[in-house]
Amino acid sequence: MTTRILGIDPGLTRCGVGVIDLLASRKVSLVSVSVLRSDPSSNLVDRIGIVADALEVLIQTHKPSVIAIERVYSDANVRSVMGTAQISGVAMFLAHKYGIPVAMHTPTEVKAAVTGSGRADKQQVGNMVARILGLSEVPKPADAADSLAIAICHGWRSFGASQPAAGQLTAAQRTWHAAAQAAAAKREG
């Protein structure tokens, strides 16, 4: 059975998106890779909308079985973290809308899964992504390679794990539905 995985390296200016197929043999193959961009001089709402619309088209086109997102981590650049968190939220909303399970992976997990070292640099990650997928060159920019690394990480870490049947909600999705229903009832009551 083939599992299609959409990997997302969330970012407001550059959002890496990579789609791979994970085969029963644990082999992965490239389906699509790109970087969604928004103009930093544009209004925030428009920027989020541009990335959201493009992500939705990608989901409708490729119909992933799961969406793997790099977990937001804190660093000194609060502005960058906010953009990353906003796009992660958009991706999670779209996953909910289409009933697609979501997996979150830390940068260290991704690096370790792809290179064998949680301290690998971007060049090492890119080189291994190209090697694993049999590509003649590293996908550019680094956000594109990172999105594929996130998808590969998820595929290899979840290999053999049972996937929910079509239409079946994961525990996280059931929790989200219950919270949404409670909030709606509170607003109406």
The residues assigned a catalytic role are 9, 70, 143
In eight-state DSSP terms, residue 74 is -
Radius of gyration of the chain (CA): 17
Closest by Cα among 105, 149, 104 to 123: 149
CA–CA separation, 104 vs 121, rounded Å? 20
Burial of 147 (0-12, 13-18, 19+ CB in 10 A): buried
> Contact 105/150 with Cβ under 8 angstroms?
yes
> Based on the number of CB atoms within 10 Å of its own CB, is 56 exposed (0-12), middle (13-18) or buried (19 or more)?
middle
Burial class (CB in 10 A: 0-12, 13-18, 19+), 106: middle
